[in-house]
């Protein structure tokens, strides 16, 4: 069958159109790639062939942005309108939350909004550490920024539409240089905390069914009592998913502080599996089990079926930490009016119980630690220099793509082969080489284990109360304040 005809049939089979619409759909495709049909190639995605055809015929320029825009416009043909998607989602929700999310996730993978093929390129493994198995990923899926977009952004001072990548106005947006194509993007509307929010999946997922909950308004992130209320409401609506928020301050926060949002998904992270190392008792909250978690970052876990007491105690901890200082440990709440303390809150369900992890964050800097006192220290920057956000707090490293090629050179160095090892990796590589025999048979295992060890050190650096005598004493002083 011809290429355009084959894709038109696929569009109709998706349910977005009916057989009577076939001529209309074919003409939509012709409008994108030209009138004359060609033979389809076997074993190559139809949309990729159509995009190549459009380039060949001069319908679009042969550039990254133009290709992405056309790719998503073609997939938009097999994606129902937002109103239809929302109606279908909430119809299926009446059967069960899982029925609804399974349907919506399948839609977002089949229409290439969730970039499944790209995500498969990521390097993913887990290795044991003193804190249990930590998960390591080297992120190879997200494409590098288009050089044309970088150049255009340098001279662009106009107010943006959409304002950011999380705004609802992205739904169906064609895209342009510096603004991702979103023709095939769909958002589920839902009420959270008495306000309109959206629920969508992440195009370049870091874990299974990685999703985003976003405020309908473009307003800055805030961590407070309302955050905990919102997390509870999300868990009540989608109990199979965890949900959490990045911190709301630079250095310890995520990369999108300008728009209130949370992340969630169907994944059990290492931190969730970590045990309580010190039980805590709060007599005013008898329905809440509490404790300090055996984790490199400073985490207080609250568990209860009574969500009112859970929210009340969680808010109390956030408020006390917000104003808590301990000069012995370089923990400082304020510089004048500048706040330095917040939490990374994460919630999941255990049957009828709600489990809330509150990870204490401090974004102070110093001459010794200019990027952050509780941030990966310089010795570890050759592996991880970026902020420690929500996902990494929970024990899943998101490492930069550069490491794939750089670490291949480290392995050659260990094996005595010709190599181009980066100077930044050399001290670490020599230190590991000195303590063990590395062979072709074990070199991959050694590399994976040592990366997990580095990530454990990264999380230890980011912890406010360290796993030592001074840190334990610090915990005791803080708990007394609570």
- Torsion-angle region of residue 454: left (phi > 0), alpha (psi -120 to 50) or beta? alpha
Question: Taking a C-beta distance cutoff of 8 angstroms, is the pair 134, 460 a contact?
Answer: no
What phi and psi values does residue 3 have, to the nearest 5 degrees?
Answer: -60, -55
Separation of alpha carbons 70 and 74, rounded Å: 6
d(CA 154, CA 216): 29
**Is 360 within 8 Å of 322 (Cβ atoms)?**
no
Tokens 């959490």, located at residue:
244
**Residue ranges in 14-63 assigned as alpha helix (H):** 22-33, 46-56
Cα 377 from chain centroid? 23
pLDDT in the model for residue 375: 96
DSSP 105-137: HHHHHHTTSS-HHHHTTSEEEEEEEBTEEEEEE
- Whether 79 contacts 181, CB under 8 Å: no
C-alpha–C-alpha distance, residues 299 and 320, integer Å: 15
**How far is the C-alpha of 451 from the C-alpha of 453, rounded, in Å?**
5
Rounded to 5 degrees, φ, ψ at 269 are -85, 160
User: Please, are residues 304 and 287 in contact by the beta-carbon 8 Å criterion?
Assistant: yes
CB 245 within 8 A of CB 227: yes
The gap from C-alpha 303 to its chain's centroid, in whole angstroms, comes to 24
State how far the Cα of 480 lies from the Cα of 282, in Å rounded to an integer.
Answer: 11
Read off the pTM. Answer: 0.94
Instruction: Tell me how far apart the alpha carbons of residues 228 and 231 are, in angstroms, rounded to a whole number.
Output: 5
**Count of C-beta atoms within a 10 Å radius of residue 291:** 17
Measured between alpha carbons, how far is 409 from 422 in angstroms, rounded to an integer?
Answer: 8
DSSP code for 253 = B
What letter does residue 214 receive in the DSSP assignment? E
Q: Phi then psi for 195, rounded to 5 degrees?
A: -125, 160
What is the DSSP pairing of strand 211-215 with strand 396-399? Answer: unpaired
Give the per-residue pLDDT at 154: 53
- Of 383, 447, 364, whose CA–CA distance to 413 is shortest? 447
Q: Which of 88, 390, 391, 98 is nearest to 237 (CA)?
A: 98
Measured N-to-C along each axis, helices 46-56 and 64-76 cross at an angle, to the nearest 10 degrees, of 130
d(CA 61, CA 67): 8
Walk along the chain (482 residues) and give the pLDDT tens digit of each residue: 899 999 999 999 999 999 999 999 999 999 999 999 999 999 899 999 999 999 999 999 999 999 999 999 999 999 999 999 999 999 999 999 999 999 999 999 999 999 999 999 999 999 999 999 999 999 998 776 666 665 665 555 667 899 999 999 999 999 998 899 999 999 999 999 999 999 999 999 999 999 999 999 999 999 999 999 999 999 999 999 999 999 999 999 877 899 999 999 999 999 999 999 999 999 999 999 999 999 999 999 999 999 999 999 999 999 999 999 999 999 999 999 999 999 999 999 999 999 999 999 999 999 999 999 999 999 999 999 999 999 999 999 999 999 999 999 999 999 999 999 999 999 999 999 999 999 999 999 999 999 999 999 999 999 999 999 999 999 999 999 99
Q: What is the CA radius of gyration of the chain?
A: 25
Cα–Cα distance between 314 and 298 in angstroms, integer?
15
Alpha helices (runs of H) in 221-373, residue ranges in sequence order = 225-237, 270-273, 307-322
């Amino acid at each position: 069958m011809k290429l355009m005809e084959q894709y038109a049939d696929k569009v109709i089979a998706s349910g977005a159109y009916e057989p009577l619409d076939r001529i209309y759909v074919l003409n939509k495709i012709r409008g994108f790639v030209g009138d004359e049909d060609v033979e389809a190639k076997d074993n190559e995605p139809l949309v990729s062939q159509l995009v190549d055809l459009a380039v060949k015929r001069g319908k679009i320029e042969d550039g990254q942005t133009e290709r992405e825009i056309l790719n998503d416009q073609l997939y938009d043909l097999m994606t129902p309108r937002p109103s239809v998607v929302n109606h279908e989602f909430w119809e299926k929700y009446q059967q069960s939350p899982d029925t609804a999310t399974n349907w919506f996730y399948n839609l977002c993978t089949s229409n290439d909004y969730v970039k499944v093929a790209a995500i498969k390129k990521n390097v993913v493994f887990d290795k044991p550490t003193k804190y249990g198995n930590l998960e390591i990923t080297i992120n190879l899926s997200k494409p590098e920024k288009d050089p044309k977009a970088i150049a255009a952004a340098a001279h662009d001072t106009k107010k943006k539409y959409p304002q950011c990548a999380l705004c609802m106005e992205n739904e169906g947006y064609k895209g342009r240089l510096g603004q991702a194509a979103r023709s095939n993007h769909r958002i589920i509307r839902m009420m959270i905390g008495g306000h309109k929010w959206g629920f969508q999946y992440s195009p370049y997922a870091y874990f299974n069914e990685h999703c985003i909950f976003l405020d309908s308004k473009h307003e800055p992130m805030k961590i407070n009592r309302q955050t905990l209320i919102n997390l509870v409401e999300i868990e009540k609506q989608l109990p199979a998913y965890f949900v959490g928020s990045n911190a709301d301050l630079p250095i310890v926060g995520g990369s999108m502080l300008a728009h209130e949002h949370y992340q969630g998904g169907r994944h059990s992270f290492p931190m969730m599996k970590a045990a309580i190392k010190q039980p805590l008792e709060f007599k005013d909250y008898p329905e809440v089990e509490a404790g300090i978690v055996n984790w490199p970052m400073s985490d207080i876990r609250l568990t209860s079926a009574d969500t009112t007491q859970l929210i009340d105690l969680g808010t109390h901890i956030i408020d006390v930490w917000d104003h808590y200082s301990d000069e012995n440990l370089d923990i400082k709440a304020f510089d004048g009016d500048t706040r330095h303390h917040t939490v990374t809150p994460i919630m999941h369900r255990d049957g009828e119980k709600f489990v809330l992890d509150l990870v204490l964050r401090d974004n102070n800097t110093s001459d010794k630690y200019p990027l952050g006192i509780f941030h990966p220290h310089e010795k570890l920057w050759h592996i991880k220099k970026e902020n420690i956000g929500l996902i990494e707090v929970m024990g899943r490293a998101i490492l930069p793509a550069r490491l794939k090629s750089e670490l291949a050179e480290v392995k050659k160095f260990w094996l005595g082969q010709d190599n181009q090892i980066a100077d930044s990796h050399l001290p670490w590589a020599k230190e590991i080489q000195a303590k063990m025999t590395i062979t072709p048979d074990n070199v991959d295992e050694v590399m994976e284990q040592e990366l997990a060890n580095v990530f454990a050190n990264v999380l230890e650096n980011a912890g406010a109360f360290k796993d030592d005598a001074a840190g334990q004493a610090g915990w005791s002083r803080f708990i007394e304040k609570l």
